Structure 1
Amino acid sequence: MPIPAGSSPLGRSLLRNDVYTRLRDALVDGTFAPGEQLKDVDLAAWLGVSRTPVREALLRLATSGLVETQPGRSTTVSTIDERKVRDARDVLAAMHQLAVRESVAILTPEDIERMRAANRDFAAALETGDVAAALDADERLHAVPVAALGNEAVESVLEHFGPVVRRVERMRFASASAQRSVDAHERLIELCAAGDAEAAAAVAFDTWHSLPITAD
């Protein structure tokens, strides 16, 4: 397993969640490719931590479907399984629909502005072909209603299934069709600002449910 170049080790006080986040992002952005074997000793050296938080993170990633682990044998990056992506996408669509419907009434002007700023960043990232920045901006935008709602169950489900879908979403944002997401975001924001919870929820659902699930 080749170790990515130019990455500085993380501090010894690193929390388990930080190790998980770093590995999750490396799987989503393609740093580690489908089918590639992951060795905890190499990952620990890359991150500058012990093998224990790496092993714990890999177990969490296995439950999300990003890696496949065979105890005592090997851990590999999972291939993109269209059925699993479809199932995860449908769950995300339902959770974001719920979050938007229930949070519209409590969104503040500052929340709406955060969504607008995120969509501006999203559009700018698409213009420059910065897929990583586009994913980050998209995540910030959709996180606003979720955070406003404050439903820990919804947040847990999104954290669990989100990375599987993000791997495919990354491909979408690298294509010409990504511009449609800018328009969909704008409709969502305006409906939230207008207080139309049902229409905004429908847009949120369609935005996620229309995500292509093929790996092509």
Structure 2
Amino acid sequence: MRPVKLAPAHPHGEALLRIPRRSVLTDDVYLQLKTLIMNNAIAPGIRINIEDIARQLEVSPTPVREALARLDSDGLVDKLPLKGYRTTPLLGELEVRELYELRLLLEPFAAGRAAVRITDEQATALREELATCPVAPRESRYEDYQPLTSHDTRLHELVLTIAGNSTVTDAFQRTHCHLHLFRLSYAGELGDTTLTEHGRIVDAVTSSDPIAAEAAMRAHLESSRDRMLTSFAAKPR
């Protein structure tokens, strides 16, 4: 099995694997591998040599395997029968369109339902979640925008949980949409717009206004989809 191919991670040429010369736990290995994949420093569609990664991180293969199992559940690697793991490909334009088609079927409905069902405690939880990421990160590395990614995931899942349909929630979680979309691109202005739109969703849901909640979620998803498709159009073919 050939070694992992590492793509350039930074225009100034810093070392890709800034690994502390110490023993690391599975969580550390998981976070470091996830960061490399999200930054495309481990290229999409590349088979991962567990022994090679363990050697670079100076750990045994066991925590690497455990970390890869978690990354498999995140949708960032695939387990190949009898061949180990490889990183998943980036989403293409058609896949992005289809992902947003699914989200537009599930999430506006869920936001409207959440506005009808929401309790005072849940309203407080939504507002508190909004406050966890008051300012959008400016840098485009995963290390910088990870707090926004986590907030984005938690807020959307919280709305789905308040809506009370576990089947819809499970279907949404299986898409791993936040990681896949942020892996394609991130810019500071995208984060600013995302947080503004999140605020409108939270205001509508906590005001128990199902029509406004559904409209705010739909507008957010359509805006996000259009920004993503514009980035595809701007790339040379």
Alignment TM-score > 0.5, same fold: yes
- 2:49 matched residue in structure 1: 39
SS of the aligned residue for 1:75 comes to strand
Aligned residue identity for 2:43? A
How many residue pairs match? The answer is: 207
RMSD across aligned C-alpha pairs, in angstroms? 3.8
**Which residue in the other structure is 2:218 paired with?**
205
Out of 162, 167, 172, the residue aligned to residue 153 of structure 1 is 167
- The 8 Å contact of residues 181 and 207 in structure 1, kept in 2 or not, is answered as yes
Structure 1 residue 197: Cα displacement = 0.9
The residue type equivalent to 1:148 in the other structure is: I
Compare the two structures and name the one with the higher helix fraction: 1
**Alignment counterpart, residue 139 of structure 1, candidates 153, 166, 179:** 153
* C-alpha deviation, 1:200, in angstroms: 0.4
Percent of matched pairs sharing the same residue = 19
Counterpart of 1:38 in structure 2: which amino acid?
A: I
- Spell out, residue by residue over 1:113-146, the C-alpha distance to the aligned partner (whole angstroms, 9 max, x if none): 3222322332324368831111112222222222
Q: How far apart are the structure 2 equivalents of 1:173 and 1:77?
A: 19
| 3-state SS of 1:131 partner | helix
Whether 1:195 aligns to 2:208 is yes
Matching of residues 42-53 of structure 1 within 5 Å: 42=52, 49=62
Partner of 1:110: 121
Unaligned runs of 5+ in 1: none
- Matched residue type, 1:168: L
Separation in 2, partners of 1:159, 1:8: 32
Structure 1 partner of 2:13:
none
Which residue of structure 2 lines up, in the alignment, with residue 186 of structure 1? 199
Q: Distance in 2 between matches of 1:84 and 1:32?
A: 21
Structure 1 match to 2:14: none
The structure-2 alpha-carbon separation of the partners of 1:39 and 1:209, relative to structure 1 and needing over 3 Å to count, comes to farther
> Out of 88, 94, 97, which is 1:86 matched to?
97
TM-score if structure 1 supplies the norm length?
0.71
Alignment TM-score, normalising by the size of structure 2: 0.66
Give the number of the structure with larger relative contact order, counting CA–CA contacts within 8 Å between residues 6 or more apart. Answer: 1
Distance change in 2, residues 1:156/1:87 (3 Å):
same
Higher mean alpha-carbon deviation, 75-84 vs 41-50, is at: 41-50
CA spacing shift, 1:26–1:158, aligned 2, 3 Å: farther
Paired amino acid for 1:181: T
Max Rg structure: 2
**Counterpart residue type for residue 96 of structure 1:** E
* Paired residues of 2:136 and 2:192 also in contact (CA < 8 A): no
50-59 or 83-92, which moves further after superposition? 50-59
Output one character per residue of 1:26-68: Cα deviation in whole Å (capped at 9) or x when no partner.
Answer: 644546332443224456776863677567557656xx5x446
Are the aligned partners of 1:27 and 1:77 in contact in 2 as well (CA < 8 Å)? no
